[in-house]
Structure 1
Amino acid sequence: MSDGENMRKSNYKNSGVKELLTERYANDTILLIATSNNNVPSVRSVDSFYYEDSFWIVTDTRCNYVKEIQENQKVMISDGGHNRFWCNAFVTGHPLNPNNESIREIFMKVFHNWYKEVNNEDLESVCYVKATPYKGYVHKEKIGYQFDISEDLVDTDNISHHIDVKLEPIW
């Protein structure tokens, strides 16, 4: 954040952060998820999207990070830039479980180009992970939003130390 002269406080509902997260992450997005095992952190990229206040991932219960989430629900999600989100994560179960019916429809829409080709729902180990931010930081157009949902607080500040960029693959 800057020197604090331009800092503004607001509540989460009226801050625009939820809309910004939806705008930025509602589509098929590669994000990083950090977990830990015995206080040893680990990070990997996952295909994800943001929907109804949470990041969603389709994966496999045999993955190390899923096992780590089952032991410790505290994770961090990041886009690899300055944006980062502290989340509570949990496995919601197999995509064909009745409780996942409505979110599966969203997965099919968001990942329409590859979902069925990549995810073999005949496997019992396929699962969804839901990661719900409780605090975080996101920026847009030289404005940074540091938020804490549990406190219903957003600190908004002008950013002077970097500019927003859209990272493009070099290949």
Structure 2
Amino acid sequence: MNSFDESMIVMNELFGKDYQFALATTINDMPSIRFVDAFFDKGSFYIVTYDNTQKVKEINTNKNVSLCNEMYNFSGIAKNIGHPLDKKNHEIRKKLVKVFEPWYFIHNDESDEKMCYIEIKMTHGFCYKDGIGYKMDFINKKAKKFSFECDIVFVK
């Protein structure tokens, strides 16, 4: 197994669930950051939101975004892929409803035409697990694997 394939297994283990990230967007060179719940699947992160939010407006202007939490960081291209009930979103909707089950229907109204999913196709990123770091190039499907120990103390 090559380093990129190994890094995808780690990505699925770490982020193939409800995971909170700081999402950074920009508009007119002004950065904007907010926390979002995200789910990783097949090289992309998915976010459930509404078309009239500031983050979606900023993504419509500049599709380059970043995600960060603890020492994990990723960059990618974001796109509004439409309403959850759109036929093309059937498979990802099943996964998102399951992953976000504790709150999905409490905080989201699928009868609202403004509800949407954001897909962030990863371009580059860094994650680590069990003393191994992975610097990933999602475009070329390559990863550099190296020893990594996080020496920052996170207080919760």
Shift of 1:135: 0.8
Structure 1-normalised TM-score? 0.83
User: What is the aligned counterpart of 1:12 among 4, 19, 23?
Assistant: 4
- Residue matched to 2:121: 132
Shift of 1:159: 2.5
Identity of aligned residues (%): 32
Structure 1 residue identity aligned to 2:130: E
Q: Supply the distance in 2 between the matched residues of 1:52 and 1:152 (Cα, whole angstroms).
A: 12
In the other structure, the counterpart of 1:59 is 49
Instruction: Give the drift of 1:73.
Output: 1.0
Shift of 1:150: 2.1
2-side partners of 1:150 and 1:44: how far apart? 26
1:109-144 per-residue CA deviation (whole Å, 9 max, x = no partner) reads: 111122112101111110000011111111112221
Of 27, 37, 40 in structure 1, the residue corresponding to residue 27 of structure 2 is: 37
Q: What is the distance in 1 between the residues matched to 2:150 and 2:14?
A: 21
For residues 42 and 137 of structure 2, what CA distance do their matches in structure 1 show?
Answer: 17
CA distance in 1, matches of 2:83, 2:52: 13
Q: 1:96 & 1:153 partners in 2: Cα distance? A: 34
Stretches of structure 2 lacking an aligned partner (at least 5 in a row): none
Moved over 6 A (4+): none
Higher relative contact order (CA 8 A, sep 6+): 1
- The 3 A distance-change label for structure 1 pair 83 and 129 is same
1:24 to 11, 14, 36: 14
Contact 1:88 / 1:133 at 8 angstroms: preserved in 2? yes
Q: What aligned pairs does 1:89-168 form with structure 2 within 5 A after superposition? A: 89-159=78-148, 162=151
Displacement of 1:62 in angstroms is 0.9
Q: How many residues align?
A: 155
Structure 2: distance between partners of 1:66 and 1:94? 13
Deviation at residue 83 of structure 1 after TM alignment = 0.7
Cα separation, partners in 2 of 1:168 and 1:105, compared to 1, 3 Å: farther
Q: CA deviation at 1:152?
A: 3.2
Q: Which runs of 5+ in 1 are unaligned?
A: 1-9
What pairs up with 1:69-80 in 2 under 5 angstroms? 69-79=59-69
Q: CA deviation at 1:78?
A: 1.4
Q: Distance in 2 between matches of 1:150 and 1:64?
A: 28
- Bigger radius of gyration: 1
**In the alignment, which residue of structure 2 is the partner of 1:68?**
58
